[in-house]
Structure 1
Amino acid sequence: MANSKPRILNNNRDMVWSLIPLVIACLLIAGIASQCSLSPGGPSQGPIPNFDVDAALQYDASELNFPIRNPRVPEGWTPNSGSRQSIAGEQGGDVSNVGFISDAGRYIKLTQSSASEEVLVPFAVGEARYASGTESIDGAEWIVYDQEGSEAVWVTDLGDVRLLVTGSGSTEEFTTLAAATTSAEPLTP
């Protein structure tokens, strides 16, 4: 037997009444799976992942062929991430990354590498950048790559290693991490 009314007479109201049970079923499934939540005040910060920066940098110091430093960051800064990569090519090299969340809640990443500055900067930020100035911190000259609408990048060359600082941190936080890193003694392998 055919539908109670011809298909040509179906309208938007019929479509809405058909979708309501589907939407309720989707919400019910998402609620059961705990994949949605209601937060009327907006999102809240979740827990910062725990990362053992001391062990990671000590391991990198034993495996990589350039000096690795473990900066002593201020109380309240939390290490939350780390990785190791390689940059192919003549001026490339190994890369050691560690990230911190400052006490103000901003992410700052420290990269240590044997790669040249010309290769390291585009590798770290994913695009070509041009130097916009310098910062002198504890006797080390840091090249600043600051571009409108992007995170700043600071790089210094200590001869056998290049240090790079980037992230959403403030100038003061960049200065703090830069000073802590250059003043740290290289770890023994």
Structure 2
Amino acid sequence: MAEKKPRILQNNRDMMWSMIPLVLICLIIAGIASRCEFSPGGPSSGPVPHFDVNASLKYDAGVLGFPVRDPAVPEDWQPNSGSRGVAGSNGGGDVTTVGYITSKGRYLQLSQSEATEEALVPWVAGDLRSPTGVAPVAGDRWVEYAEEGSEPIWVTDFGDVRVLIKGSGTTEEFTELATAVDAAQPLTP
């Protein structure tokens, strides 16, 4: 029977020889699971998920108690998400939200609600913001909420519904969506 090395004679080389098989086993398992990828250029964009924005807004128009609009956005914008929620308790109400990826790869969120502007903005932004300006678009007055380090928000009031746009889009893209919302007629349930 071979004699065991005295503890003093065990060194980093012995530890390295013990670690190599463990690292190889981890790499083999990760390769089999197909969860690892070597990408020297950094991460790449995946496919945009498909979302049927027309069906979602049509459904929401039938179940929510306020007029819902389905704006005609440019054809190269891709709808990718949608949700429904309730904004705040004081002046709050139902909210329907859809999202678009613009032709430049930027995200714009469109929320429509019966909630007041004072309840809707903090619900979407996660904090209380103050208006910083006004953007006149297609005869409507869009109140701007711009804050350093945060995505801008535009809100307008159509009387029985407030419309909010938020996202990483450019001013031109915000204006395009605001114009499309203004031109859209409320959907019939």
TM range (shorter): over 0.9
How do residues 24-63 of structure 1 correspond to structure 2 at under 5 angstroms?
24-63=24-63
Question: Secondary structure at 2:142's aligned position in 1?
Answer: strand
Counterpart position of 1:181:
181
Q: Which residue identity does 2:120 align to in structure 1?
A: L
Question: How far does residue 130 in structure 1 lie from its aligned partner after superposition?
Answer: 1.5
Question: How far does residue 90 in structure 1 lie from its aligned partner after superposition?
Answer: 3.1
| Alignment deviations for residues 144-186 of structure 1 (CA, whole Å, 9 cap, x no partner) | 1111111111111111011010111111001100110121000
The whole-number CA distance in structure 1 between the counterparts of 2:181 and 2:98 is: 12
Q: How many residues align?
A: 189
Does the 8 Å contact 2:92/2:114 carry over to 1?
A: yes
Name the CA shift for 1:17/1:55 in 2 (closer, same or farther; >3 Å): same
- Return 63-72 or 13-22, whichever deviates more: 13-22
Name the CA shift for 1:14/1:89 in 2 (closer, same or farther; >3 Å): same
The whole-number CA distance in structure 2 between the counterparts of 1:154 and 1:2 is: 78
Does the 8 Å contact 2:88/2:119 carry over to 1?
A: no
- Return 80-89 or 34-43, whichever deviates more: 34-43
TM-score calculated relative to the size of structure 2: 0.93
Show structure 1 runs of 4+ deviating over 6 A: none
Counterpart position of 2:115:
115
| Alignment deviations for residues 4-34 of structure 1 (CA, whole Å, 9 cap, x no partner) | 3344554444443333222221121111011
Question: Secondary structure at 1:96's aligned position in 2?
Answer: strand
Specify every segment of 5 or more residues in structure 2 that has no aligned partner in the other structure, as ranges. none
The whole-number CA distance in structure 1 between the counterparts of 2:86 and 2:170 is: 28
Name the CA shift for 1:165/1:5 in 2 (closer, same or farther; >3 Å): same
1:19 matches 2:4: no
User: Identity of counterpart residues, as a percentage?
Assistant: 60
